[in-house]
A and B are shown apart, each in its own frame.
Chain A
Amino acid sequence: MNILGIETSCDETSAAIVQDGTHLLAQVTASQIDLHARFGGVVPEVASRQHVVDITRVVEQVFLDANMTWSNIDAIAVTCGPGLLGSLLVGVSAAKGYALATGKPLVGVHHIAGHVAAAMLASDGGTGATPPFLCLVVSGGHTELLSVDAEFRFTRLGGTRDDAAGEAYDKVARLLGLAYPGGPKVDDLAHRGRPDAFLFPRALLEDDSFDFSFSGLKSAVNNEIVKRRNRGQAVLVEDVCASFQAAVIEVLVEKTKRAAVHTGARTIVVAGGVAANRGLREAMSQLAKELSISAMFPPIELCTDNAAMIAAAAYPRAKQGRWSPLSLNAYAQLSLVDWQDGNWPDVVQIVPNL
Chain B
Amino acid sequence: MGVIAMDTATDTLAVGAGTSDGRLLSGVIQRVPRGHSRLLQPSVQFALASAGLAMRDVERIVTGVGPGSYTGVRMAVATAKAMGHALRVPVVAVPTVDAMARAAVLAETANGLPHRIVVMLNARRGRAFGACYTRSVDERFVRDCDIQVLPIASWLQVVGDGEDALIVHDLQRDWPMPTHVARSLTWGALSGLMPQALLELGKCPEYAVYTGDGLHALAPVYALLVEAEAKWQAASEGGST
| Contact surface of A with B, Cβ cutoff 8 Å | 38-39, 43, 45-46, 48-49, 51-53, 55-57, 59-60, 70, 85-86, 89-103, 325-330, 346
Contact = CB atoms under 8 A, between A and B. Distances in A.
A90 B78 contact: yes
B228 A46 contact: yes
Contacts of A328: 38
Nearest to B217: A53
B79 A97 contact: yes
Interface string B214-229: 0111011010001111
- Most chain A C-beta atoms within 10 Å of own C-beta, residue among B78, B86, B216, B220: B78
Given A90-B74, A94-B78, A49 B38 contact: no
A287 B2 CA distance: 62
A52 B226 contact: no
A15 to B, nearest CB: 11
Contacts of A59: 82, 85
A93 B37 contact: yes
A345 to B, nearest CB: 11
Given A55-B78, A98-B82, A327-B41, 7 more contacts: A39-B228, A49-B219, A89-B78, A94-B78, A97-B81, A103-B55, A326-B45
B16 to A, nearest CB: 15
> Range of interface residues on chain B?
35 or more
A48 B78 CA distance: 11
Contacts of A46: 226, 228-229
B101 to A, nearest CB: 25
Interface in B44-79: 44-45, 55, 70-71, 74-79
A346 B70 CA distance: 21
Where chain A touches its partner, the secondary structure class is: helix
B40 interface: yes
Query: A-B pairs with the 9 shortest C-beta distances?
Result: A97-B82, A97-B79, A101-B86, A93-B78, A94-B82, A96-B41, A326-B41, A101-B83, A45-B226
B82 A56 contact: yes
B interface, over-half SS = helix
Interface in B191-241: 215-217, 219-220, 222, 226-229, 232
A327 B39 contact: yes
B78 A101 contact: no
Contacts of B81: 52, 55-56, 94, 97
A128 to B, nearest CB: 29
Contacts of B153: none
Contacts of A70: 86
B80 interface: yes
Nearest to A43: B228
B185 interface: no
A315 to B, nearest CB: 22
B142 interface: no
A260 B241 CA distance: 60
B79 A93 contact: yes
14 contacts: A38-B232, A49-B220, A52-B74, A53-B216, A56-B85, A86-B71, A89-B37, A89-B74, A93-B37, A97-B78, A97-B83, A99-B41, A100-B45, A326-B45
A90 B220 CA distance: 12
B87 interface: yes
Contact of A89 (B44, B71, B217, B229): B71
Contacts of B217: 53
A56 B215 contact: yes
Contacts of B80: 97
A7 B131 CA distance: 36
A43 B74 contact: no
Given A45-B70, A55-B82, A100-B44, A92 B87 contact: no
B42 interface: yes
A65 B232 CA distance: 37
B152 to A, nearest CB: 22
B240 to A, nearest CB: 14
Nearest to A45: B226
B74 A56 contact: no
Interface string B165-187: 00000000000000000000000
Given A70-B86, A98-B82, A52 B37 contact: no
